[in-house]
Amino acid sequence: MKTIDELLAAGVSGKRVFVRADLNVPLDGATITDDGRIRAVLPTIKALAEAGAKVVVASHLGRPKGAPDPAFSLLPAAERLGELLGAPVAFAQDTVGPAAHDAVDGLQPGQVAVIENLRFNPGETSKDDAERDAFADRLAALADVYVGDGFGAVHRQHASVYDLPKKLPHYAGHLISTEVGVLKKLTEDVERPYVVALGGAKVSDKLAVIDELLGKADRLLIGGGMAYTFLKAKGHEVGISLLQEDQIPAVKEYMERAEKNGVELVLPVDVLVSPEFPDLKTKAPANPTTVAADAIPADQEGLDIGPKTRKLYASKLADAATVFWNGPMGVFEHPDYAEGTKAVAQALVESKGFTVVGGGDSAAAVRTLGFDENAFGHISTGGGASLEYLEGKTLPGLAALED
């Protein structure tokens, strides 16, 4: 795929450059609680603005249902982008209507505008090719050149990600170039030992990537809510812990295949349990109990890996040359259940290998728990996109940039 460096070398002064970013930041009302995704696209926007482009930034935020919804407005993200750029950023209150055209027409070389949430238009996410294509035509009227830099959305066949690049000269931004380079390190000529730590709530979300990694990784460490389906598959009582019983046959098959392939599949040996889920708003003390992973009481819920498992997982990560981590080890949003996730993050910080935090809740945990982002080899902006790339899937947004 052609990169933004090639575009800059050719010159962009005065050109309208459409940047498909990922400004899908978490909001508490109108307050951004984590601006990592905005900061991740800054190098691309700054480079274009400094080269004299008229920069048109577009993104989705949340899941509005194809119509304007103030709760999902991109205005807070646009304001934060302006703060980070140290320059005013125009904001259009629609996607392809009069406000968008006025904002773009008003740009001088080196200035930036953000248009409203792309998902306020049903054509963005439509499964109907013609409807998507029509929306992409209207977006194309706003620009002369397309730069794809919303890595967190490249696994979606959406108008601004998949259809629009085909209508304009198109290039990969700095973020996408970096993300793809990192993922190639995890899939091609991987330095070993290669250790993958997987957590999160549902094992079903990770089945495809586990299937692929059983032929590539040397070790798989399993934590989070998904671990209880593995423990149940081994015949252990898991109480009222998160469980996907319909996935037990697949999990059993994977455990058998891991043993056959010589892949070390490591499960928790102890867990923190409680009879109720913690209050994440008040963060009131939860007073959990630590029990062996094969001795979870029938009326208790597993909510984090225990101290022995933390040490075990740290030891399994210590000699890794390559590490990929996706998914927290427990309910890290509550201080009583954050230690498992902290332990994995700390092991990555201390690792001498190439460490990748696979976006989503893992990236949020790193920032929430106060880790220095620069202590990791790479923190991805796209959890879902990263996983699908590792599964070996073709990502529509990358395919469109490669044409």
CATH number at residue 348: 3.40.50.1260
The two tokens of residue 180 are: 């793809």
Judge whether residue 277 has pLDDT over 80.
Answer: yes
Q: What average pLDDT does range 243-264 have in this prediction? A: 95
Active site residue 202: yes
Q: Report pLDDT for 78.
A: 98
- Would you say 360 is a known binding-site residue? yes
User: How confident is the model over 154-211, as pLDDT tens digits?
Assistant: 999 999 999 999 999 999 999 999 999 999 999 988 999 999 999 988 888 888 899 9
Q: How many CB atoms lie within 10 A of CB 16?
A: 19
244 and 339 in a common domain: yes
Active site residue 360: yes
Q: Report pLDDT for 403.
A: 75
Q: Report pLDDT for 382.
A: 85
Q: Report pLDDT for 361.
A: 84
Choosing from 353, 358, 383, 384, the catalytic residue is 384
Cα separation, 382 vs 179, whole angstroms? 9
Choosing from 16, 20, 37, 54, the catalytic residue is 37
Q: Report pLDDT for 215.
A: 87
341 and 317 in a common domain: yes
- Would you say 117 is a known binding-site residue? no
Q: Report pLDDT for 17.
A: 98
Q: Report pLDDT for 359.
A: 72
Judge whether residue 34 has pLDDT over 90.
Answer: no
User: How confident is the model over 124-162, as pLDDT tens digits?
Assistant: 999 999 999 999 999 999 999 999 999 999 999 999 999
210 and 309 in a common domain: yes
pLDDT grade for 383, boundaries at 50, 70 and 90: confident
349 and 280 in a common domain: yes
pLDDT grade for 381, boundaries at 50, 70 and 90: confident
- Would you say 39 is a known binding-site residue? no
Q: What average pLDDT does range 103-116 have in this prediction? A: 98
User: How confident is the model over 111-121, as pLDDT tens digits?
Assistant: 999 999 999 99
299 and 192 in a common domain: yes
Choosing from 46, 202, 257, 393, the catalytic residue is 202
User: How confident is the model over 384-396, as pLDDT tens digits?
Assistant: 899 899 888 999 9
Choosing from 152, 173, 306, 360, the catalytic residue is 360
- Would you say 62 is a known binding-site residue? yes
288 and 217 in a common domain: yes
- Would you say 362 is a known binding-site residue? yes
User: How confident is the model over 293-351, as pLDDT tens digits?
Assistant: 999 999 999 999 999 999 999 999 999 999 999 999 999 999 999 999 999 999 999 99
227 and 142 in a common domain: no
224 and 366 in a common domain: yes
Residue 12 is part of which domain span? Answer: 4-175
Cα separation, 187 vs 7, whole angstroms? 28
191 and 153 in a common domain: no
User: How confident is the model over 208-248, as pLDDT tens digits?
Assistant: 899 999 989 999 999 999 999 999 999 999 999 999 999 99
189 and 158 in a common domain: no
Active site residue 150: no
Please give the tally of structural domains in the chain: 2
Q: Taking a C-beta distance cutoff of 8 angstroms, is the pair 318, 348 a contact?
A: no
- Would you say 397 is a known binding-site residue? no
Q: Report pLDDT for 204.
A: 85
Q: Report pLDDT for 237.
A: 97
